[in-house]
Each structure stands twice: as C-alpha cells, then as structure tokens.
Structure 1
C-alpha cells in the first residue's frame, strides 16, 4: 500500500513532531463526508477572481502544501512539485501551492507571479493567491500548520497533511519535493 492510503489518518500524537500513522488505509465511517478544520477555508486562486473551497480542493485526500515565492532561489522546485503532482495525483495526492511574500521574494504583480508558475514551470496543480504564512498576520491555514508542526522558516516549505487534517511531515526549503525523505512517505 502506498502512503496515500497510509497517511489517511494520524492515530496519536506522541511528541511533537513525531506521529504514528494508520497503516490500514481503511477510512472510518463518514470520514470522506467530513472536512477537517484545517481545510475549512476559502482562498482565491492565483491571478484569478475564482474563490476555491479547500474542502473541495482536498476532497478527503492527503495534501502536499507548499508556500511559494516567484523570485526565490528555490523557485526551480516548481518543476519538481509538478512532477510529484503528475506522479501521485491518480493515487489521490493533492498538491497545493500558496503564493506568499512573507520573506519578501514574491512578485508584487500577481500576474507575473502566475506567469512564472504556469508558463515558466508548467504548473497544473492548485496555486492560491498571495497570503502571509508567518506571524500574527499568517493566513489561518498556515496558523494551523504552525500550531500542529512549525511555521515555514522560508519559501518552499513542504508539508504533508493527512486527509484527516494532521500535519504528518514538515520539510524545509532545501529538501526538494522528490527527496527520498518525502517520496519514501509517498511510496510506502
């Protein structure tokens, strides 16, 4: 069984950030009909007026959540994120990128930021509009991520979130999306 079935729920928090994952892959009754609090958010799609309901975007699946910035030295990770999206989307992984200027590296023009994502890197996974991801001004999605794990310390922090809304893994910017530490979770 792959991690997309295994990360489906977290059983117990032992000591932060160590978690025990359910290995059965069997969903509890009604689990697919309930949206975890972390995803009970509406956010605007990048360079669009379309408002997305994160409950609908995540649709009861595990999520790789990434805070992004178009002028960061890690921007090349968009390509790797897209590869992860293409490889695992049919198995249920949802990749969500969230544009942020919390580290002063996002283009002020959202259209230019979107062009970097979509045109330069061919991003087809969900990209959300620019929001703060750290501090008191952080978007509620990232406040909850920080509460469960840690706030991003830089752009391109990658979080694996179980379908029941628990942060299972937090990976710093220097760890690329296809790193063995991440893909081992996705392939188990």
Structure 2
C-alpha cells in the first residue's frame, strides 16, 4: 500500500495521522468513553495503559503509516479529538478494512459516517484495492448503522469467538466495491 495522505478534511472533521503528541487528547477520549466502547473493542480490556505505553503504541502506528501499512487517523472536531478511524490490511490483498471508535459524547451526529466515507474514498486511492470492508459484531447496532448509511452491502455473517464482553459471536462483514462506490459518488 502506498502511504495515505497525512490528513484529509470533510465538511466538519479533520482526519489526520496520530503522533505521540496526541497522547493526552486520545487518552482522555478513551477514558471518557471506556464504558461506551469497552463492550465492542477487545483491546479495551488492557486499558488504562500508561501514557508512555500509549505514546509508544502511537509511535508504532506512525511508523506503520510511514511504511505504507495500516493508517490510524484521529478524528478531530475543531481542535477536539473525538475518536479514531483506521484502514487495516486484515483480509484479502485487494481489500482494506475500516475500523473505528467514537467518543461517547459525540455519537448520533453522523461524524462516524462522515469519517467512514472519507476513509472509503482514501482506500480506493490505493493501487489494487477493489473492496473496502467494515466488520462488527451483530450486537453492535451503532457500528452497523455506519456501513448501512454508506451504502455498503452485508456480504456475510461469520461465527467467531467472543473477544469483548458485549459481543454475541456473530460478525457482520460489510463491503463496497470500487465500482459501487464510484457510482454512488457520481449519483450525489
């Protein structure tokens, strides 16, 4: 994967590569939203982590992005960090998966749909990417609303081990093809 741009803007949001300097803001967002996102994100079982460990993790993310790998972007509303969104190589070589979480105080306003749209468009700037996916547990209705609003199709349901306390163990796997995304963009 070629390196994604360091930042992109939507109508209301700035999405940009996180750096260790963002640790205080991201750490605060995670602490404020722990009860909201812990049921769905297995890595939240390790929270809270130290500031030094989070900065080290963010340095790793930054290096992966510089090397053309996964990209983890902070979502900023004006100057406030309100979540993260990433593009991950977790599936077939012609596909990227979007992962995300949003601060509990900023849900229900379309921010994640806006960020997901921008990340889908960015994903299709990558050579050889023909599909973008979003996966979530069936019980996580809020996460499922995002791909539905973006025009992704529910491609499959997969039984998987339960990794987080709110999960049912059925993963919904949504996809959109390059052609379908282009057609949707042309229609708007």
TM-score (norm 2): 0.29
More strand by share: 2
Bigger relative CO (Cα 8 Å, ≥ 6 apart):
1
More helix by share: 2
TM-score (norm 1): 0.29
